[in-house]
Amino acid sequence: MRTWMAVGILLLCASPLWSDQVTLKNGDRLSGSISKSDGKTLVIKTDYAGDVTVKFDAIQDITAASDMHVELGDKTAVGTVTTSGDNVVVATRTSGPVEAPRSAMTVLRSAAEQQAYEKTLHPLWTEGWSGGINVGFAVTRGNSETKSLNVAFMTVRKGFKDKLSMYANSIYATNDLPGANPPTTANSIGGGIRYDRDFRPRLFGFVNADFFHDELQTLDLRSIVGGGLGVHAVKREATTLDLLSGMNYTHESYSAPFNPDKPDVKSRSLAAATLGDEFRQKLGKSTVITQSLYFYPDFTNTGQYRGTFNFGTVTKINKWLGWQNSFGDIYVSAPPEGKRKNDILLSTGLNFSFTH
């Protein structure tokens, strides 16, 4: 019994020798488990203070007793890590020690962090989704009797070199006063899907499909299928700006003739160019601004075109709840006879966000 107690005490005393250690230039020493480093900061998990982030320039020595994945310029080594002066030494199990300047060490990951990183490169289709649902409702009674409901859904799945995004939105409004004509003042539904694939850090290709229905414009369904190339003009954590160009094919079907001279024709197809931009700006920790503008000049009917503009803000109230405002404008240069060229939507309400 005493022998086992002695062994246990020795193990407890020796355990710091088996842990990772980081010695700072001011003489402080941190013991625990090194998680990762990007060459600018290092994260070590300690028993007494949790995760501690240290500036890499403040580190004097590093000792990693467990195997780490280390990127040294254009090569990768796996093994225990120690520093020797201005150099770093990785003791690999297969090819012996690998030594390089500390400045060449751009990435340092534990086995768990490496596994998590590799998972982000090839995530399952059920993983990596984030998005939100916007809901707005209004009702009036008295001199006016109206009600309106607008719902919008947006989700994005980002991979290492690709992105899949889907959206849907609808607005329905009625005038409930007796004899109101028309009783339905808005009834539109839209949705779409887009897939982006990076070819280079700044260049990407995309394919997309969008669908739109508008009862008051007698539009049963507008289907747009297209694709093209885009440029990440700005790609920062807080700000992104993508510029896109390509081609699209559009088919429209109406419940009434869109041209009175051709009463039997209720559908049309056309080819058009796609020109657009998508902008995203994060303000502080709680507010995100998004804007998109698309212009579709018609090749089939020269001089005609369509355009869409969307602007929105979401301000977080807590982790999953926020306040949203959105403005949208859909413009058609040649609408059906008697219909207006613009459809404008302004809404505000709650945003319910999610991640998976």
* pLDDT, position 208: 95
Mean pLDDT of 201-221: 92
Quick: pLDDT tens for 103-126: 889 899 999 999 888 877 777 777
From the list 308, 306, 197, the residue with the least C-alpha distance to 242 is 197
* pLDDT, position 287: 94
Mean pLDDT of 139-153: 87
Q: What is the DSSP code string of 284-313?
A: TTTEEEEEEEEEEEBSSSTT-EEEEEEEEE
Mean pLDDT of 35-64: 90
Q: What is the DSSP code string of 248-278?
A: EEEEEEESS-SSTT-TT--EEEEEEEEEEEE
Quick: pLDDT tens for 294-343: 999 999 888 889 999 999 999 999 988 999 998 889 898 888 777 888 88
- Residue 14 pLDDT exceeds 60: no
- Residue 143 pLDDT exceeds 50: yes
Task: Provide the mean pLDDT of the chain.
Answer: 87
* pLDDT, position 159: 80
Split at pLDDT 50, 70, 90, the class of 4 is very low
CA dist., res. 42 & res. 53, Å (int): 6
Please report the domains of the chain, with CATH numbers, ordered by start residue. 14-121 (no CATH), 129-355 (2.40.160.40)
CA dist., res. 326 & res. 304, Å (int): 27
At 266, list the tokens.
Answer: 């209720």
* pLDDT, position 18: 53
Distance of CA 18 to the CA centre of its chain: 40
* pLDDT, position 356: 67
Place of tokens 């995100």: 288
Place of tokens 């839209």: 190
* pLDDT, position 335: 83
Secondary structure letter of residue 335 according to DSSP: P
Task: Please report, as a single letter, which amino acid is at residue 111.
Answer: A
* pLDDT, position 217: 84
Task: Please report, as a single letter, which amino acid is at residue 207.
Answer: V
- Residue 235 pLDDT exceeds 60: yes
CA dist., res. 10 & res. 61, Å (int): 26
Range with the poorest average pLDDT among 21-25, 68-72, 255-259, 294-298: 255-259
